[in-house]
Amino acid sequence: MVLSARTKVAPMLVLGIETSCDETAAAIVSDEGERIRSNVVFSQLDEHRPFGGVVPEIAARAHLDRLDGLIEEALGEAGVGFGDLSAVAATGGPGLIGGVMVGVTAAKAIAYAWGLPFVAVNHLEGHALSPRLTEDVAFPYLLLLVSGGHCQLLAVEGPGRYVRFGTTIDDAAGEAFDKGAKLIGLGYPGGPAIERAAALGDAARIPLPRPLRGRPGCDFSFSGLKTALRQAASDLRIDGMLAEQDSADLAASLQAAIGDCLVDRTRHAILRFRAHYAEGSDLVVAGGVAANGALRGQLQSLAGEMGMRFVAPPMALCTDNGAMIAWAGLERLKLGFSDGLDFAPRPRWPLDPTAPAAIGAGVKA
């Protein structure tokens, strides 16, 4: 069919729902003009802060209480109704299964009631494709995915097409930040707390290890770093308390050690990426840890040194949000992918199902 000059094709509008952890989020994304029409996020930090981490049951109940209102708010901000949508997308996993079930059930109900396609989105793919929402990033590209529960290096060939170069064999970088902040007494969430304290600290004062640095491969390890931090903090405590400067120095040392590990492993991945792909010159970092300014600076320097363009999503798209889920759903829909209403939420869902499981890292997939 040839469209006449007067024929106008309506833009695609996708509702995205994210409920995999401790953010309840909904967004409307378009494939034309201003792509992010709305992006509403409710953070559950206050609910989980007394426990020093995310409590799955509390998270699921908070999603249940807030999601309907957030969907209504997202539609209102975008100035559209359910009848204007092209599809509805929701995080189908991986994540806390109770929360994932809340989002998937809501999305299925909307899809059924309005006769819309339903797209189940891998939460990690939401992060992986998020840079394309705001930047001109072509496939293939090299991705460092760093979040609270995931730390991976992948070649991104397209939606649903990922080749994993490396993953964590124990803790993820985000877990190292969160557990490190708890050990130092900086509170929750750990990532922002460590970054604030580190700005006032001396990163060279506390000698901490850089696990796997200099070794072949692209895998990560952070559990030994956490153990060394615990010992260093114990040595500095007086009557069970850390001085303010000691806390800042520990935070700065931890942040520097994590950054050095990420840079070293990513350098190896760049060499491997270039060996396998004739095209592709973008180094992309995504996920919650990508919001750390110091780490961004280190990775940007690495990209410049290795002759690659550095790309990171805006800060608001690094942490969990509905816009990245809507965009991933939109990209999949354009390729003809959608899911049946019998889709089952998945607590685990690897981007590269062919990659071997790293020792000790089965729960990270």
Q: What band does 364 get if pLDDT is binned at 50, 70 and 90? A: very low
Return the higher-pLDDT residue of 51 and 318: 318
Rounded CA separation 323/305 (Å): 32
Q: Which residue, 313, 356, 307, is CA-closest to 165?
A: 356
In what helix (H) or strand (E) does residue 122 lie, and over which residues does it extend? strand 118-122
Q: What band does 43 get if pLDDT is binned at 50, 70 and 90? A: confident
Q: What is the pLDDT of residue 42?
A: 94
Rounded CA separation 271/274 (Å): 5
How many CA atoms are closer than 13 Å to the CA of 73, on its beta-carbon side? Answer: 14
User: Hunting for tokens 């999603």 — which residue is that?
Assistant: 63
Radius of gyration in angstroms for the set of CA atoms belonging to the chain, rounded to a whole number: 21
What CATH topology corresponds to 139-312? Nucleotidyltransferase; domain 5 (3.30.420)
pLDDT of 363 higher than 50: no
What CATH topology corresponds to 13-132+318-364? Nucleotidyltransferase; domain 5 (3.30.420)
Expressed in percent and rounded to 5, the helix, strand and coil fractions of the chain are 45, 20, 35
pLDDT of 8 higher than 60: no
Q: Please provide the average confidence, as pLDDT, over all residues in the chain.
A: 93
Rounded CA separation 305/300 (Å): 9
Q: Where in the chain is the domain with CATH 3.30.420.40?
A: 13-132+318-364, 139-312
Return the higher-pLDDT residue of 48 and 323: 323
pLDDT tens string 269-304:
999 999 999 999 999 999 999 999 999 999 999 999
Q: What band does 4 get if pLDDT is binned at 50, 70 and 90? A: very low
